[in-house]
Amino acid sequence: MTKRRMFLRMVTASLLRRRSRMLIALLSIGIGATILAGMVTIYYDVPRQMRAQMRSYGANMLLMPAEGETLDSEKLAAALHKLPEDALVGASPYRYVRLDMTSRQQSFTTAGTDFEQVRKTSPYFSVEGSYPEAPREVLVGREIAGTIGVKVGSDMELTWQPAARDADGSAEDDRVPGAVLSGSAEGFGKQMVYVTATLDGEAKIAEISIDASTQTPEYGGRAQTEPAFAAQFIGKALPLEMEKDIDALSGATVTSAAVVEALNAARAADAAAGAGPSGQPKTTRYRVTGILVTGGEEEGYVFMSTDDLITLTGEDKLDVAELSISADEAQLNAYAEALTGDGIMARLVKRVTKSETAVLGKLQALVFLVTVVVLILTMICVSTTMMAVVSERRREIGLRKALGASDNSIRGEFLGEGMFLGLLGGLMGAVLGFVFAQVVSVNVFHASIVFRPLLLPVTVLVSMVIAAASCLMPIKRAVAIDPAIVLKGE
Amino acid sequence: MALLELKNISKIYGELKALDNVSIHVDKGEWVAIMGPSGSGKSTMMNIIGCMDKPTKGEVLLDGEDISKLPGKRLTDIRRDKIGLIFQQFHMVTYLTAVENVMVSQYYHSMPDEAEALEALGRVGLRERAKHLPSQLSGGEQQRVCVARALINHPELILADEPTGNLDEANENIVLDLFRQLHREGTTLIVVTHDPEVAEAAQRTIVLEHGKVAREVVNENFVE
Amino acid sequence: MLFRMIRGVLFHQKGKMLLIAITIALGASLATGMLNVVMDVEDKVNKELKNYGANITVKPKDASLLSDIYDVGEGGEALNAAYLREDELGRLKTIFWAFNIVDFTPFLDAQVALPDGDGAQVVGTWFNHHLSLPTGEELDAGVQGMRSWWEITGGRWLNEADAGADSEIMVGALLAERKRWTVGETVKLTGSRGERDMTIVGIYDAGGDEDEQIFATLDAVQALTDREGKVASIEVSALTTPDNDLARRAAKNPAALTSRDYETWYCTAYVSAICYQIQEVITGSVASAVRQVAESEGTVLDKTKLLMILITALNLIGSALGISNLVTASVMERAQEIGLLKAIGAKDHSITGVVMTEILITALVGFAAGYGMGFGFAQLIGRSVFGSAIEMNTKVIPIVAGLIALVTIAGSLPAIRMVLRLKPAEVLHGGH
């Protein structure tokens, strides 16, 4: 048997046969290593997690068209490609226009945006009701809602006056005459009636042609053949109402109603499709799905989806995009630099970025100091326990010395034992420490932690060094003692 | 020829003279008992012979080499190479089996050899108990393991401190028989004891009193 | 006899007992330090979060909407007929939660004409307005504290204490760049009711709309537009408690609460409660929470507190295990001594008594030392992280003391039981 095998045999015997003592030492190192691995993991992960929380403060970068340029969805998408996907929390495009609510003689700033992104970039938006999901649904700021008395579920008509905002007096000139509407509706016997109307500059009907060939000639068919019926429509604005605007043909009420319905449907479809005559004021009816509460100026705005606003105005144009990016200030500056160009200018929202840097800095310093203090205390705790466990063996050390062991070989044996315990406890601690950090992360941030492979060898190494170092002190004292004194009876 | 010679040694602790100008010599192969009441200086002498302590004055010649002035490290080497120790309280490593305890001595001396260690246990009649832990052995058995451990490295000198102090008569006889056997093989034995029966088993008895050699008695009934 | 035995152990086994005392002291200091930090962290982080600016805005009841919605130009003030009163501002520090009002500043904005014929928005406000409150408190309120993110790119902050502060202005970086204005230049501002030569003392980069504005003292803007004593809005920075269910219910309609809930709500620093109290003291006002700040503050505070609590709890479990472990180790180390006591006829309960008394005395010493040390740790953390002392919470003392007692007893009992189960003979001749 070699000396090395005997060495291993003695060490394993000590570990296995002095089970309760070794368990105590192992437990102690394991706890120390757990706290070490856990705290260090938390320390490294906290800024990342907290930064994600800080995103609740909203956008920290704005993208705007550069001087003399315009911004649209395509350019924005191209710019966003320059950002790493995992850093971008959200990007909300905004187009601001003023829309009129003619019935109340009010005018509101209306923002066209992407609600799915808004939820990400402005998590502090509080909506009574719900965010719009279907087309022609809007969100109304609390102040507006209070002023005009709309509630969740009410409808409101908003009108886009393309020219009104350009310059005074030019509005009328922009309205192009000759726009054509055509539509159809079910007439008598579920047969279709087709209508085509030409509008004049004031959106009034200038010409009309009715195709009622599917209807009974002596009744409904007269809608097509009797000029007096068609004449009623000329000079009237859509939508029309039976009885009030139009008198039905006698004996052909169903057909008459179908003509009116076809015209009204054509107008509604036209408004919705946005294919209407450009330069015409366009009115669309919207359903209010939610009232927005923010405590800020957004409460004075109406919000609709970008698509709805494009349909209404016929323009794909953006004024600004709000970006929420998870990154530190230096990184944000780098991103801003990368994004600027191609007609886009990127600016940081200082209020958010500066404050985030300040607050995160404090938090990280807090966790750092706590980690350092906890680690020092834990390591001392581990050492004292190891010292107690080793001190117990002073007599054994004396005996070994009496049997001719040199101080070095005694040190070697105890260090071997200590380092083995350190290895075992360190492995245990690295795993438990990850669990510890995971528990904290899941409970606090509802997110799991990133496993750092490097931490495993570091934890094991530190545990071994600490276990070995804390063995050394009592051994040093023990070997300094004369074996005779230890071996003498009590 | 003298294996061990103490020349005018004194050990002084402050005012107390534990040993006062003592000279003795032990020949190679001789079996000597050192007797005396408590406080007579027995233990001090035992520690000095066992290389665990140094005299204040005088020379200790072991195998002709003066060891009284050697540094601690060298003393450890000499103890390991030349001396086998047996203690009153047995002192075994609690978590090692009987055979492993014997092997520890080999380990520090040269090479552990389990077969040889088992053979040594066989000599003290404990071959079957080799795999037992100290807590599973009786006091007599533990002391026999200690004897096996002391002789495993074939020391020139076996130094026993009250080897039978904690044993009943039956076990005492077993240990004394082992000593006789060792003596016949030519091992030098020094046994410190206050038990006259144990002393009578030796060839010669040195009686200490108040740190001085009071008298030396040659045991005429000694049987080879 | 018991006493002599204990004294013997304490004095003759000084080393071992010292080891236990040190470990207990470390555990106690960890618990003390962490608990104190946890109890104060909300307050401290709350103050840090004031960096984000106001979390409450106060506006006159009726007129706020109109000025926001219509881009009214010069003379548009006429529309904005309702104002708050400047002389009531001091009342903000008299509400129930006055202590939580950290800073506030009034605003009065106006369109002014520049010498080149362009218009610009000028904002009248406080910069570092010194207030001596009737309560004896002194306070410097204003935008200097509430716009911590402004970067002064040229010149300095406007100082209200300077003579002639009313003819000084600070200009936003974008506006200054466009107009090629530099610090020290004089610009004539023409308001609806007068004109005044103003000296630019500072240029700031706010990274927002304010970069296009001019900031002047409240008095100056009031004089320019003949609105003496009037304020258009107030921004308030308050330390608040994160909202819970009750706060959300109360925010909708405080009148709908039961009287007990109402009291709880009113006496808790919820942002809605503070808004409510502000409305009570400022005539004709509507105070509302700036959700961007208030809501986010709540999130960050909750998370930070929970994080610290969890770290503390897990560390306490760790150090509790560590201490009981050490106590177990040291009791087991004395197996031989206990065996001897048994051999000479000591009863189990008297041995337990001796050992427990020793350990508890040691624990007491450790606790006292540890509490002092923990106090130090808490202050170290407070000073180096937040730059202010951590408040010592007396609640921590019984918690830590109880914890230490529990841990020590939990650590010694199983070890004592284990040792008592050993047979004295085994222990004594086992050669331990």
Residue C383 domain boundaries: 2-45+298-429
Closest Cβ opposite residue A399 in set B50, B93, B95? B93
C392 occurs within a structural domain: yes
The token pair that represents C335 in the structure block: 């197996």
B202 within some domain: yes
In terms of domains, do C198 and C229 share one? Answer: yes
For chain B, which chains pass the contact test of at least 3 CB pairs under 8 Å? A, C
Q: For A180-198, how does the pLDDT look when each residue is reduced to its tens digit (9 = 90+)?
A: 677 778 887 777 788 888 7
Top-confidence residue, A244 or B198: B198
Give the range among A280-289, C151-160, C413-422 with minimum mean pLDDT.
C413-422
Whether C50 maps to a domain, the answer reads: no
Quote the minimal CA–CA distance from B96 to chain C in Å: 12
Let me know if residue B139 belongs to a domain.
Answer: yes
> A65-69, A78-82, A345-349, B81-85: lowest mean pLDDT where?
A65-69
Residue among C45, C307, C318 whose CB faces A31 most closely: C318
pTM equals 0.71
Task: Say if residue A160's pLDDT is above 80.
Answer: yes
Q: How far is CA B201 from CA B160, B161, B181, B204, in A?
A: 14, 15, 12, 9
Which CATH number belongs to the domain containing residue B132 in this structure?
Answer: 3.40.50.300
Retrieve residue A352's tokens: 């958010």
Backbone angles phi, psi at C192, to 5 degrees: -70, -25
Q: Is the pLDDT of residue A92 over 60?
A: yes
Mean pLDDT highest for which of A76-85, A274-283, C290-299?
Answer: A76-85
- Residues in chain A closer than 8 A to C387 (CB atoms): none
State whether residue B26 is helix, strand or coil. strand
Q: Inter-axis angle of helices C245-252 and C271-281, to 10 degrees?
A: 30
pLDDT for res C432: 37
B93 inside 8 A of chain A by CB: yes
Q: Residue B138: inside a domain, yes or no? A: yes
pLDDT given for residue A490 in this prediction = 37
Query: For chain B, how many structural domains are there in total?
Result: 1
pLDDT tens string A297-343? 888 899 999 989 988 888 888 889 999 998 888 889 999 998 888 88
B57, B68 Cβ separation under 8 angstroms: no
C396 belongs to a structural domain: yes
Dump the DSSP string for C87-127. Answer: GGGGGGGGSTTGGGEEEEEEEEEEEEE-TTS-EEEEEEE-S
CA–CA distance, C19 with C362 (Å, rounded to integer)? 10
- Residue C258 inside a domain? The answer is yes
Q: Bridge partners of B218?
A: B204
What are the pLDDT digits (tens) for A423-465? 999 999 999 999 988 888 888 888 888 888 888 999 999 999 8
Where does a domain end: C238, C267, C289?
C289
**Cβ contact A149:A104 at 8 Å:** no
Say if the Cβ atoms of B50 and A402 lie within 8 Å: yes
Residue C319 belongs to some domain of the structure: yes
What would the two tokens of residue A60 be? 């920290």
The reply to whether C158 and C244 lie within a common domain is yes
* Residue B171 belongs to some domain of the structure: yes
Looking at residue C202, its pLDDT comes to 93
Residue B89, chain C, CB below 8 Å: the answer is yes
Contacts of A29 (CB under 8 A, 6+ apart): A382, A386, A421, A422, A424, A425, A426, A429, A463, A466, A467
Flag whether B62 is in a domain.
no
Q: How far is CA C317 from CA C313, C325, C413, C419, in A?
A: 6, 12, 18, 25
**Does C245 lie in the same domain as C182?**
yes
Residues C99 and C229 in one domain: yes
| C262/C348 same-domain check | no
So what's the pLDDT on residue A276?
A: 44
Chains in contact with C, where contact requires at least 3 CB pairs less than 8 Å apart = A, B
Nearest Cβ partner for A482 among B43, B53, B113 = B53
Is the CB of residue C429 less than 8 Å away from at least one CB of chain B?
A: yes
Å between B137 CA and nearest CA of chain A: 16
Whether residue C257 is found in the same domain as residue C358? no
Residue A132 dihedral angles phi and psi, to the nearest 5°: -65, 145
Number of residues written out for chain B: 224
Closest by CA position to B109, among listed A413, A400, A412: A400
Measured between beta carbons, which residues in chain B are less than 8 angstroms from residue A401? 76
Whether the CB-CB separation of C225 and C192 falls below 8 Å is answered with yes
Site from A4, A389, A403 to mutate, B interface, most B CB atoms within 10 angstroms: A403
Q: Could you tell me if A83 and A325 are in contact, meaning their C-beta atoms sit under 8 angstroms apart?
A: yes
Q: Which of residues 330-389 of A touch C (CB under 8 A)?
A: 347-355, 358-359, 362-363, 365-367, 369-370, 373-374, 377-378, 380-382, 384-385, 387-389
Which residue, of C238, C272, C289, is where some domain finishes?
Answer: C289
Domain annotation covers residue B19: no
Task: Let me know whether C128 and C21 are in one domain.
Answer: no
pLDDT, tens digit (0-9, with 9 covering 90-100), for A275-302: 444 467 888 899 999 999 888 888 889 9
Task: Out of C231, C260, C289, pick the residue that ends a domain.
Answer: C289
The pLDDT of residue C127 is 92
Q: Do B92 and C432 touch (CB under 8 A)?
A: no
The conformation of residue C197, written as its DSSP 8-state character, comes to E
Cα separation, B189 vs B175, in Å, equals 13
Q: What average pLDDT does chain B have?
A: 87
Q: Are C174 and C305 contained in the same domain?
A: no
Is C93 inside a domain boundary? yes
What is the number of domains present in chain C? Answer: 2
Residues C352 and C220 in one domain: no
CA distance A60 to A57: 8
Kindly state whether residue B149 falls inside one of the protein's structural domains. yes
C76 and C129 together in one domain: yes
Give the E-state strand segments of A245-343 in sequence order.
282-293, 301-305, 320-325
pLDDT for C1 beyond 70? no
C323 shares its domain with C220? no
How far is C-alpha A86 from the chain's CA centre? 11
Domains belonging to chain A, first-starting first, are: 3-54+356-487 (no CATH), 60-170+282-348 (no CATH), 177-273 (3.90.1010)
State the DSSP code for C76. Answer: G
B132 in a structural domain = yes
Percent of chain C with pLDDT over 70: 89
**Alpha helix stretches (DSSP H) within A182-246:** 222-225, 227-231
The string of pLDDT tens digits covering residues B78-98 is: 888 888 888 877 788 888 899
pLDDT at A275: 44
Question: Domain range holding B103?
Answer: 27-55+72-218
